[in-house]
Amino acid sequence: MSDTPTRAYHHGNLRNELLDTAEAQLAAGSDELSLRALARAVGVSQTAPYRHFSDKNELMVALATRGYQQLLSKLKEAGSAAEDPESRLRAFAHTYVNYAVAHPDLFRLMFGPMEKPQEDYPELRQAMRDTYDLVRAIMREGMDQGVFEHDDAAYLANAGWSGIHGLATLKIDTPELFERHIDLQRQIDLGVDIFVSGLRKHAD
Amino acid sequence: MSDTPTRAYHHGNLRNELLDTAEAQLAAGSDELSLRALARAVGVSQTAPYRHFSDKNELMVALATRGYQQLLSKLKEAGSAAEDPESRLRAFAHTYVNYAVAHPDLFRLMFGPMEKPQEDYPELRQAMRDTYDLVRAIMREGMDQGVFEHDDAAYLANAGWSGIHGLATLKIDTPELFERHIDLQRQIDLGVDIFVSGLRKHAD
DNA sequence: TGTACATCAGTGAACGCGCGTTCACTGATGTAC
DNA sequence: TGTACATCAGTGAACGCGCGTTCACTGATGTAC
């Protein structure tokens, strides 16, 4: 708002401000983001964004990439405070779902269907893979310590992630099915509880 | 294709054909459906759809409603063959995920963010609620029979549904994270196994 | 069975709109000497 | 420290496009008598 320090001809930070505003615009409701509306919101000519992004899709990809990186750093931070695989998974779950709730539109963009093959955007691809690898690392750690009794980290990671991702998705996309009296944090904990105890039981 | 029986001035089945073709158009890749493109594809003037839907949103809602009803009937059919809560849940999971995989774009439309308050579309609302109620009925049945040891069917339904929904969502939206060697049916079964055994363990 | 007429389900031209993108441009900045 | 010049980061007008929707219309159908 007030951070418009005598905006000169050369903006100085246009790329970042475009991304910030794009995120806000996304959140502001309308499904689709328009480059023109974005330029208008930033207070810049409608062709200025092309100095920083070769086309609209590239801006969207940059937005998604930033989202993944932001989520990833939160996940890592939350995980580093935990001491065992179970509490690491629990921290992951809370951080993940709370991120989705805090940034529903960005989250949808990140996990929605991609327009262009993500092959062309190595940074995006890497950020996605890193997120997935984090889940798998937790699972592998649990398996190694014998608290998760299973033999395939990939299947286990998918199973765990599904529960967490599904909760995030249902919460932000179909709120009317998510009843009023439900406490989200308790719901997350229940999911982790069932998952963890199911894995303990699973082997015997 | 060949079911164009001397298309006369009066089409006779335009509403249904619009919905069928819209579903196909959705699947054909592009994110957004256009009324004009739809009319073109059906081979009708671009204003003809307005005879059957007051605007574009109403057509989308009709599409989503049909999707829910279709999914619901498959779920019910699959569930009726099962004898106990666990196998009913398993049948639900397979049917749900397979439906999403078979109709990814329709599934996304159904569970994506709604543009208009669904209050205004009682048929859609009912179809959504019926789906949710089905999950909850399974959970309640399991609780009543003592195989699911928990005391709140709503929390339990959310937890179970999350795992299933998350799997469906990740599978169709981020295929690159869903590794090649993973067998989807086995992945579904694993999720159900963990959930069920987690609930058995949970109480003691 | 035949005719009159209301109603239903289409047509086709036209509207205004916002969009992504291009183009030739200009003002600001940084660097070499 | 001062000047020349290349480069960078904006501007503003314009393009063509497909869209949702409206309007006045016309052909087909169904019903009453």
Mean pLDDT of B143-163: 97
pLDDT tens-place string over residues B55-74? 999 999 999 999 999 999 99
Q: Which residue has the higher pLDDT, A178 or A194?
A: A194
Contacts of B197 in chain A (CB under 8 A): 197-198, 201-202
Which positions on chain C have an atom < 7 Å from some protein CB? Answer: 9-14, 18-24, 27-29
pLDDT above 90 (res A3):
no
Average pLDDT in chain B: 91
Distances (CA, A) of B19 to A153, B51, B61, B74, B174: 42, 13, 10, 19, 27
| Nearest residue in B to A172, CA atom | B113
Find the radius of gyration of the CA atoms of chain B: 20
| CA angle, B121 then B123 then B128, to 5° | 100
CA–CA gap between residue A34 and residue A104 (Å, rounded): 18
Q: Does the C-beta of B35 come within 7 A of strand D?
A: yes
pLDDT tens for A166-175 read 999 999 999 8
Q: Which of A57, A71, A148, A155 to mutate to test the interface with B (most CBs of B within 10 A)?
A: A155
* A81 close to B (CB below 8 A): no
- Interfacial B residues in 156-175 facing A (CB < 8 Å): 156, 158-159, 161-167, 169-170, 172-174
* Cα gap A78→A71, rounded to integer Å: 11
Q: Which of B120, B92, B93, B152 is nearest to A176 (CA)?
A: B120
pTM, to two decimals: 0.93
Judging contacts by C-beta atoms under 8 Å, the chain B residues touching residue A194 are 159, 194-195, 198-199, 202
Contacts A107 to B, Cβ<8 Å = none
Lookup: tokens for A69? 């990186």
Query: What percent of chain B stands above pLDDT 90?
Result: 81
Query: How does residue B2 score in pLDDT terms, banded at 50, 70 and 90?
Result: very low
Q: Which of residues 31-60 of A touch B (CB under 8 A)?
A: 31-32
How far apart (Å, rounded) are the C-alpha atoms in residues A174 and B107? 13
Residues in contact with A102: Cβ distance below 8 Å, sequence separation at least 6, in sequence order = none
Q: Is the CB of A4 under 7 A from strand D?
A: no
